[in-house]
Structure 1
Amino acid sequence: MPIATVNPATGETLKTYDALGAEELERRLAAAETAFRTHRTTTFAERALRMHKAADLLDEDQQHIARVMTTEMGKPVRQARAEAAKCAKAMHWYADHAEELLADEEPASQDVKDSGASWVIVRYRPLGPVLAVMPWNFPLWQVVRFAAPALMAGNVGLLKHASNVPQTALYLEDLYRRAGFAEGCFQTLLIGSGAVEKVLRDPRIKAATLTGSEPAGRAVAAVAGDEVKKTVLELGGSDPFVVMPSADLDRAAEVAVTARVQNNGQSCIAAKRFIVHTDVFDAFAERFTAGMTALRTGDPMDEETEVGPLSSERGRADLEELVADAVESGATVLCGGERPARPGWYYPPTALADVTPEMRIHHEEAFGPVATLYRAADLDEAVAIANDSPFGLSSNVWTHNGIEVDRFVRDLEAGCVYVNGMTASHPAFPFGGVKRSGYGRELSGHGIREFCNITTVWHGA
């Protein structure tokens, strides 16, 4: 895949880039190793000063970088601005909290005494250069939620971004440089996916993080495992959105539409499978379908647009194949389902009912604005349908019954359970999944400690 900006609203190639040659790649790896030796010795106060500066610069650049993101991957420009603002907020949060999150810990005094020590502390130390392999769908946020905690912990980062968002990738390197981080602390590697293994096997790279597809995660995990290097993986998701009889149906349907089509439906944590108790299924389906049909699809640079194009022609074709397979196998199209006759890689908000386990879309992730609706006879069946997926990233539950809430929290196989609200990531809360959605956690204290050497310091009498 070429490293290029291709406008998904028109299909026009706007700018192409050459991949780094061997000599330049070596220079950047060496620069990362050199930068780490110094960066790891800086104080939290010094790092925080630079991180706050990066956040302030990003706020100043919000209009510019939002248009870059929209041009490169097609998200509505209002959502792009919100993404930039969220990134700045996360930078400020880690700048303010990293020191306390990584503060030395003292075991219980009796345990220290029993060990024969005069004192014991647990200290968090940075690992070194970390390779980040990141996707195009949230081209700023996915990177910042790694970079902010990693840099604040004293690590340095090398970014291999998706090949269709090179301008966003280069902007991030420039942002951290302008904020005062030393040369080599954060670098963008314009390389193809075929070069990732070589970089990951380099002894100067100490760990890796990947957000992306299941095949990409498997490939990186296999190489990292062979090299015995730490990884954090955030992969696909097919999140359930469960609606029970006690739910506020108007609010649930309104949020369901947003939850499905956010980022043009191209989000791992977008709700994709809508599991509705049979007593309220028809009422919910009517509201949900009306909301999907009313969405404004169009030019992502238009401030009124709610759904823009998919990021690539291949992505749209994959989505069409899933829908066609479902329809051929008996699914009912409640709305959408047909490619519009216009330039660009657009696909309409679509809802399918009568989905069965034999259909591909039941088990595969639909990465675009396509929702599947299921009837559940009772709580047990709702849980069973929700868990009948290879993925386990997040989940949404709509009920005002406390017993049902307890059951869903206990039994849903997911890294997050959102009750009467839409899944969203926040710097203060851990984020990640189970099953084929990956392992490890991002954000919060859990995320900043993922790439730390957790060191026990035992001191004898």
Structure 2
Amino acid sequence: MPDLPTITPETVADLVDRLPRSSWIGGRWIHGRDGSDRPGANSDTDRPGAASGTAVSLAAEDLAVEDPATGETLVTIAAASDGAAAGLAALDAAAEAQASWAATTPRERSDILRRAFELLHARADDLALTMTLEMGKPLAEGYGEVSYGAEFLRWFSEEAVRTPGRLRPAPAAADQLMFVDSRPVGPCLLITPWNFPLSMGTRKIGPALAAGCTVVLKPAGMTPLSSLLLVEILEEAGVPHGVVNCVVTPQSKEMSAAVMADPRLRKVSFTGSTPVGKGLLRQAAEHVLRTSMELGGNAPFLVLPSADLDVAAEAARLAKWRNNGEACTAANRFYVHSSVAEEFTRRLAQVADSLVEGPGIEPESTLGPVISAKALSEMQELVDDAVERGARIVTGGEALDRPGHFYPATVLADVPADARVCREEIFGPIAPVVVMDDVDEMIAAANSTEFGLMSYVMAEDHREIARAVRGIASGMVAVNVGVASDPAAPFGGVKESGVGREGSHEGLAEYLETTYVRMAL
């Protein structure tokens, strides 16, 4: 990671002035790149929609993007006020481009994705600062996400030329062959969350493009800027017009409903909450769409009797407070064996106290604000509920009195199992510690949730590790590490944490259909 640059008000103003501020459909900024061409809600002004230049009427409205470190508007986007119309215009463009994009060679698609990987690194300063400003993460973590997000483009540039297929003799017919081919699913709707605004886009777009699919990207309304920069970079890398489209609209439900009701769409990939994912799955059933759902989490963090507490404390720092605690993989419930509970809790509090809360643009900041005033209020409600039920605040526990949405790194001890902080996904910098006397009891508690995305196990004894890993119902398990996500590994959960996998070989397969051909010689 490069040395962090000095961020001044002039640096921010220069970046904001250069950011795209409009949806990207069919190879065009539909309201001008700077959003200045904004027909009103009752306008019938035609706007280009499809790759061929088909005209559609897309009215615009102002969408304010807030800086959570100040609570003030960072920039105003020309958002599509009619989400359904904008979504269908983007699908027009994607559907029109689908056949030609699928006909490109895997090597062509690979080369484009590789160029995009290189351009992301070349634009790292802009991308990292944009994420810090619109989402709040420390600038160092913004650079980390650029590297992580770019790796999906590099990985799938390599996977593009390894599309699976096979040819073999028919077992019971000497004069026949069996040919199994892989083909792109078709146009895809990709819906990304606000907490990792760049890498969640590349994690979906990379395999879709590698497989030969066109896409309609719907970024979160709170953090659209990183996605708009991403599509600008993809166009510079050589992605043909209509292959990647990005719609910014406050009407998310209306947009997704309209696009998913259109039979031209063949897949939807969503990262977000379980309730929203369930609704999308119900809509997907109408046309039997392929689905990838990366949904909510409630990750248990088990500290077993043999744990190295130095290792466990460092893993906890990353698992709990990376990205301001706003990650679906974040450690949510700390189940600590009684034999090490007092010492681990002490070390966990030391880690929390060592974090520096502040705007992400300040180089000394290691914990930024939560995303919104609503999120800040929810943090306090969770802590207050736990305390009312008997929990004890070890450190933190009260919102900071300063501009922006800052909540301190908080450690709670003596937390009862029925506290909301143990039952709900926290999505913030609160660490509740529950002490238990038995390893099997800890494993049972880890499984006592409808979620099953990520789990953490801290232990040195290989028998304890095996016992926990085999017993926990989770799509991913991190042993003695605080971060497990990797573009080369399959990311996804079990139970109500989702269906499908992103990353690795499985990530490409999510965008491919299998065709079987029987051939007489």
| TM-score normalised according to structure 2 size | 0.85
**Equivalent residues in 2 for 1:225-304, closer than 5 Å:** 225-304=285-364
Which residue, out of 156, 164, 167, partners 1:103?
164
Assess if the C-alpha contact under 8 Å between 1:239 and 1:393 holds in 2.
Answer: yes
1:90 aligns with 152
Moved more, 451-460 or 200-209: 451-460
RMSD of aligned Cα (Å): 1.6
State the Cα distance separating 1:186 from its structure 2 match.
Answer: 0.8
**Equivalent residues in 2 for 1:136-215, closer than 5 Å:** 136-191=194-249, 192-195=251-254, 196-215=256-275
2:13 aligns with none
Secondary structure at the counterpart of residue 351 of structure 2? helix
- CA–CA distance in structure 2, aligned partners of residues 304 and 114 of structure 1: 69
State the Cα distance separating 1:106 from its structure 2 match.
Answer: 4.1
1:76 aligns with 138
Which residue, out of 32, 35, 52, partners 2:114?
52
State the Cα distance separating 1:305 from its structure 2 match.
Answer: 0.8
Assess if the C-alpha contact under 8 Å between 1:67 and 1:80 holds in 2.
Answer: yes
Assess if the C-alpha contact under 8 Å between 2:110 and 2:161 holds in 1.
Answer: no
Which residue, out of 114, 127, 135, partners 2:193?
135
2:58 aligns with none
Assess if the C-alpha contact under 8 Å between 2:314 and 2:482 holds in 1.
Answer: no
State the one-letter code of the partner of 1:443: G
**Equivalent residues in 2 for 1:354-365, closer than 5 Å:** 354-365=414-425
Secondary structure at the counterpart of residue 172 of structure 2? helix
Deviation by residue 1:201-249 (Cα, 9 ceiling, x = unmatched): 1222111010011121112111112231111111111111111122211
Change (3 A) 1:49 1:330: same
- CA–CA distance in structure 1, aligned partners of residues 394 and 174 of structure 2: 70
State the Cα distance separating 1:329 from its structure 2 match.
Answer: 1.1
- CA–CA distance in structure 2, aligned partners of residues 223 and 97 of structure 1: 30
2:176 aligns with 118
State the Cα distance separating 1:426 from its structure 2 match.
Answer: 0.9
Assess if the C-alpha contact under 8 Å between 2:87 and 2:258 holds in 1.
Answer: no
Assess if the C-alpha contact under 8 Å between 1:243 and 1:276 holds in 2.
Answer: yes
Secondary structure at the counterpart of residue 119 of structure 1? strand
Secondary structure at the counterpart of residue 371 of structure 1? strand
2:10 aligns with none
Secondary structure at the counterpart of residue 395 of structure 1? strand
- CA–CA distance in structure 1, aligned partners of residues 394 and 166 of structure 2: 56
Change (3 A) 1:381 1:46: same
Percent of residue pairs bearing the same amino acid type: 39
State the one-letter code of the partner of 1:429: A
Assess if the C-alpha contact under 8 Å between 1:4 and 1:165 holds in 2.
Answer: no
State the Cα distance separating 1:26 from its structure 2 match.
Answer: 3.7
State the Cα distance separating 1:14 from its structure 2 match.
Answer: 2.4
Which residue, out of 493, 505, 509, partners 1:433?
493
- CA–CA distance in structure 2, aligned partners of residues 241 and 319 of structure 1: 20
Assess if the C-alpha contact under 8 Å between 2:358 and 2:365 holds in 1.
Answer: yes
Change (3 A) 1:2 1:279: farther
Secondary structure at the counterpart of residue 394 of structure 2? strand
State the Cα distance separating 1:25 from its structure 2 match.
Answer: 4.2
2:481 aligns with 421
State the one-letter code of the partner of 1:8: P
Assess if the C-alpha contact under 8 Å between 1:4 and 1:166 holds in 2.
Answer: no
Assess if the C-alpha contact under 8 Å between 1:415 and 1:434 holds in 2.
Answer: yes
Secondary structure at the counterpart of residue 183 of structure 2? strand
Which residue, out of 386, 409, 414, partners 1:326?
386
Change (3 A) 1:445 1:351: same
State the one-letter code of the partner of 1:103: P
State the Cα distance separating 1:304 from its structure 2 match.
Answer: 1.7
Assess if the C-alpha contact under 8 Å between 1:212 and 1:236 holds in 2.
Answer: yes
Deviation by residue 1:369-410 (Cα, 9 ceiling, x = unmatched): 001111121221110111112211011111121222222221
Assess if the C-alpha contact under 8 Å between 1:98 and 1:152 holds in 2.
Answer: yes
- For CA contacts below 8 A with separation 6 or more, give which structure has more relative contact order: 1
Residue 13 (1) aligns with residue 73 (2): yes
State the one-letter code of the partner of 2:434: Y
- CA–CA distance in structure 2, aligned partners of residues 390 and 317 of structure 1: 25
- CA–CA distance in structure 2, aligned partners of residues 283 and 350 of structure 1: 17
Secondary structure at the counterpart of residue 446 of structure 2? helix
Which residue, out of 444, 452, 461, partners 1:401?
461
State the one-letter code of the partner of 2:437: A
State the Cα distance separating 1:136 from its structure 2 match.
Answer: 0.5
Deviation by residue 1:290-349 (Cα, 9 ceiling, x = unmatched): 111111111110122110000111111122211111111111111111011100000000
Moved more, 135-144 or 416-425: 416-425
Deviation by residue 1:135-187 (Cα, 9 ceiling, x = unmatched): 00000011111111110000111111100112212112211111101001111
The count of aligned residue pairs is 457
Deviation by residue 1:272-305 (Cα, 9 ceiling, x = unmatched): 2111111111111111111111111111101221
Could you tell me which runs of 5 or more consecutive residues in structure 1 were left unpaired when the two chains were aligned: none
- CA–CA distance in structure 1, aligned partners of residues 159 and 109 of structure 2: 12
Secondary structure at the counterpart of residue 445 of structure 1? helix
Change (3 A) 1:125 1:281: same
Secondary structure at the counterpart of residue 391 of structure 1? coil
